[in-house]
């Protein structure tokens, strides 16, 4: 079966983008606001101006880093089973992360999320088979902002089995986050050999590694915890307005990340990812649902593949504020483009409002989308040979396929069977079930799935340990106690 594949760039263009990216690292170089990284670069032979905090990286260093970066790796779930294979054109999905608000299921308007919201969200992700990994979806407003990053990882670890895409907002919260992951895995070595988490690390456009994210990048490499480069060129504002130009900037930023990472530890796993956008010339916003945003993403994924690296894309989101038609069409478009581009992990389901808001209902609807997209990408397969000749000669003109074992054998693989969120009833059937909108059906399904959640096998001892790590961090920032978790869990 020929694989379905979307490639927006021809080979010459891919090569030109890569060589321009490499040339940008030589001149004007990359800004690195991190002493350790500058030293690593200087020791490797880069021309480093410590005063200006700029490193000019010769092509040979970049090429060497690309040689040692692994082509693939696997994320494991908390039971120790492989769950997400960053490899080739395999695709997986995880929710958007770092949201500031959640859509209230009753008012259908955004509000600040609290501990109980994130717990519900984690449970919902566990229950949706289409979603392959957790994300540290949003920041809880009932803890001090300084521990916003590690607190969401803490909550997720209590309730999840799936692996998680996470990230740190500070230099000093990365370590407690690693401690938690290590505690769950049974030590640093176990975590390195069977990673359960990926840390997103974001260079700042254009061509800058901030102190914090650069340190996160180095720390990930040191402990062999996978790092995911999230380069965010904003085409027309902090990056060239041309789509190809934005991809060049993305390439340069990601290459610099690969270099710093591999100089820290050769062979540590790293992902070629991002969250680019065009700059909206009317609103001055960063539309994730814009067709050009998808195009930049598809193109950089192609570049990443040409470099032999595992890839990530941030799509499947909407800029709409409520769960409406815009929300659906933008999410579907982005998911299709990223999936057909073969991005190994596609982040963004459940997210809307310019990458700032999450919704249980959107997540449930997006899961159906992902089911359809995964089905599409699998393509049309030949199950029997001859395809239908023997079958149809035997069945003649009877038209009784519904009652044939052949149908029963294949229909679940041939057809993606959506949940009741997708309405395919007759008009009367829809009417008799209460004339519900997509949002209402999604809300009901979310409630049902969350209520049916089964606790993981996490021990009381481990829960205590994770809570102690979190509390220690909270105390550092003047918070003396953590919000209580629901009883009996």
Partner 1 sequence: MANELFQKMAQSIIDGDSEVAVELAEQAIAQGIDPLEAISNGFVTGVNKVGEAFSVGDVFLPELVMAGDAMKSALATLEPELKKLGSAREILGRVVLATVEGDIHEIGKTLVGSMLGASGFEVYDLGVDQPAEKIIGKALEVNADIIGMSALLTTTMVRQREVIEELDKEGLRPRIKVMIGGAPITRDWFEKIKADGYSEDAVGAVKIAKGMVGKADQ
The residue among 241, 242, 239 whose CA lies nearest residue 254 is 239
* Binding to partner 1, residues 134-193 (CB under 8 A): none
C-alpha closest to that of 344 among 290, 416, 293, 272? 272
245 to 264, contacts with partner 1 by CB under 8 A?
Answer: none
**Smallest distance from partner 1 to CB 410, Å:** 9
Q: Does 411 bind partner 1 (CB under 8 A)?
A: yes
Distance from CA of residue 167 to its chain's centroid? 11
Dmax over CA atoms of the chain, in Å, equals: 83
Among 403, 454, 459, 481, binds partner 1 (CB under 8 A): 403
The set of residues, in sequence order, having a beta carbon less than 8 Å from that of 268 and lying 6+ positions away, is 70, 220, 221, 222, 224, 226, 227, 261, 262
Q: Are 139 and 99 in contact (CB under 8 A)?
A: yes
452 binding partner 1? (CB under 8 A) = no
Going from the C-alpha of 21 to that of each of 25, 244, 249, 268, the distances in angstroms are 7, 11, 7, 22
35 near partner 1, judged by CB under 8 A: no
- Which C-beta is closer to partner 1: that of 189 or that of 432? 432
Q: Which stretch binds partner 1 (CB under 8 A): 10-18, 99-107, 287-295, 417-425?
A: 417-425
* CA–CA gap between residue 118 and residue 106 (Å, rounded): 17
Q: Between residues 107 and 427, which has the closer beta carbon with respect to partner 1?
A: 427
417 binds partner 1 (CB under 8 A): yes
3-state secondary structure of 190: helix
β-partners of residue 347 are: 94, 314
Query: Rounded to whole angstroms, how far apart are CA atoms 253 and 214?
Result: 12
Nearest to 362 by CA among 451, 442, 453, 420: 442
425 binds partner 1 (CB under 8 A): yes
> Is 107 an interacting residue with respect to partner 1 (CB under 8 A)?
no
Which of 187, 386, 429, 455 binds partner 1 (CB under 8 A)? It is 429
- The distance of closest approach from Cβ of residue 398 to partner 1 in the complex, given in angstroms and rounded to an integer, is 11
Binding residues with partner 1: total (CB under 8 A)? 15
Query: If binding is defined by CB under 8 A, does position 405 make contact with partner 1?
Result: yes
Place of tokens 């249980």: 360
Counting contacts by CB under 8 A, is residue 407 touching partner 1?
yes
Q: Which two tokens stand for residue 443?
A: 């809300």
For residues 381 and 1, the answer to whether their CB atoms sit within 8 Å is yes
Instruction: Give the shortest CB-428-to-partner 1 separation in angstroms.
Output: 5
Three-class DSSP category at 267:
coil
Query: Which element (helix H / strand E) includes 376?
Result: helix 360-378
Residue 59 CB, shortest distance to partner 1, in Å, is 57
DSSP assignment string, 418-449: --TTS--S-HHHHHHTT---HHHHHHHHHHHH
In the complex, minimum distance from the CB of residue 377 to partner 1, in angstroms, rounded to a whole number: 23
Pick from 284, 393, 427, 461 the residue near partner 1 by CB under 8 A: 427
Of 4, 1, 163, residue with least CA distance to 89: 4
- Of 144 and 425, CB closest to partner 1: 425
SS3 102: strand
Segment 283-312, which members bind partner 1 (CB under 8 A)? none
Looking at 51, 426, 459, 481, which residue binds partner 1 (CB under 8 A)?
A: 426
Q: How far is the CB of 372 from partner 1 (least distance, A)?
A: 17
**Nearest distance from C-beta of residue 426 to partner 1, angstroms:** 6
Which listed residue (213, 419, 438, 470) binds partner 1 by CB under 8 A? 419
Contact 259, 269 (CB under 8 A): no
Binding flag, residue 481, partner 1 (CB under 8 A): no
Return d(Cα 139, Cα 450) in angstroms, integer.
Answer: 20
Q: Does 435 bind partner 1 (CB under 8 A)?
A: no
Q: Which member of 408, 437, 455, 483 binds partner 1 (CB under 8 A)?
A: 408
Q: Is 423 in the site for partner 1 (CB under 8 A)?
A: no
Closer CB to partner 1, residue 428 or residue 435? 428
Query: Strands 82-86 and 345-349, how do they pair?
Result: unpaired
Q: Is 444 in the site for partner 1 (CB under 8 A)?
A: no
Residue 444 C-beta: closest distance to partner 1, Å: 13
Residue with tokens 């449930």: 364
Based on the shown chain and the rule CB under 8 A, indicate whether residue 432 belongs to the binding site for partner 1: yes
Residue located via tokens 């690309």: 66
Per CB under 8 A, the segment of 132-140, 167-175, 302-310, 399-407 that binds partner 1 is 399-407
72, 104, 292, 420: residue in contact with partner 1 (rule CB under 8 A): 420
Q: Which residues bind partner 1 (CB under 8 A)?
A: 402-403, 405, 407-408, 411, 417, 419-420, 425-429, 432
């Amino acid at each position: 079966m020929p694989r379905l594949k979307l490639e927006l760039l021809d080979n010459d263009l891919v090569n030109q983008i890569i060589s321009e990216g490499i040339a940008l690292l030589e001149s004007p170089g990359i800004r690195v606001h991190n002493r350790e990284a500058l030293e690593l670069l200087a020791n490797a032979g880069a021309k480093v101006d410590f005063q200006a905090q700029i490193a000019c990286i010769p092509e040979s260093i970049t090429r060497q880093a690309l040689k040692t970066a692994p082509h693939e790796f696997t994320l494991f779930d908390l039971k120790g089973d492989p769950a997400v294979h960053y490899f080739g054109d395999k695709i997986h999905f995880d929710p958007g992360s770092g949201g500031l608000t959640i859509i209230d299921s009753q008012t259908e308007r955004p509000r600040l999320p609290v501990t109980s919201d994130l717990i519900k969200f984690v449970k919902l992700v566990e229950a949706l088979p289409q979603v392959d990994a957790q994300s540290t979806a949003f920041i809880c407003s009932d803890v001090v902002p300084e521990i916003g990053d590690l607190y969401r990882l803490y909550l997720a670890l209590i309730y999840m089995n799936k692996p998680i895409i996470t990230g740190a907002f500070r230099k000093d919260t990365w370590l407690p986050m690693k401690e938690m992951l290590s505690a769950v895995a049974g030590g640093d070595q176990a975590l390195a050999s069977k990673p359960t988490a990926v840390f997103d690390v974001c260079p700042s456009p254009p061509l800058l590694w901030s102190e914090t994210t650069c340190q996160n990048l180095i720390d990930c490499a040191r402990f062999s915890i996978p790092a995911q480069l999230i380069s965010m060129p904003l085409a027309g504002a902090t990056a060239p307005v041309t789509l190809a130009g934005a991809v060049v900037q993305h390439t340069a930023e990601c290459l610099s990340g690969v270099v710093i990472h591999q100089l820290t530890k050769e062979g540590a796993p790293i992902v070629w990812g991002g969250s680019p956008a065009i700059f909206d010339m009317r609103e001055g916003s960063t539309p994730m649902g814009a067709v050009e945003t998808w195009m930049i993403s598809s193109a950089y994924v192609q570049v990443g593949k040409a470099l032999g690296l595992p890839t990530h894309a941030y799509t499947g989101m909407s800029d709409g504020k409520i769960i409406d038609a815009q929300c659906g069409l933008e999410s579907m478009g982005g998911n299709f483009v990223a999936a057909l581009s073969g991005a190994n992990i596609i982040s963004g389901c459940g997210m809307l409002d310019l990458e700032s808001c999450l919704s249980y209902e959107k997540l449930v609807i997006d899961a159906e989308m992902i089911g359809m997209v995964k089905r599409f990408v699998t393509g049309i397969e030949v199950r029997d040979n001859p395809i239908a000749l023997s079958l149809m000669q035997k069945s003649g003109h009877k038209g009784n396929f519904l009652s044939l074992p052949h149908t029963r054998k294949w229909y679940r693989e041939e057809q993606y069977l959506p949940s009741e969120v997708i309405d395919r009833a007759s008009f009367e059937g829809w009417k008799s079930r209460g004339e519900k909108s997509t949002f209402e059906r999604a809300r009901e399904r979310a409630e049902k799935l969350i209520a049916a959640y089964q606790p993981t096998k996490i021990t009381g001892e481990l829960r205590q340990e994770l809570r102690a790590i979190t509390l220690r961090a909270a105390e550092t920032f003047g918070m003396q106690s953590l919000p209580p978790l629901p009883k009996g869990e």
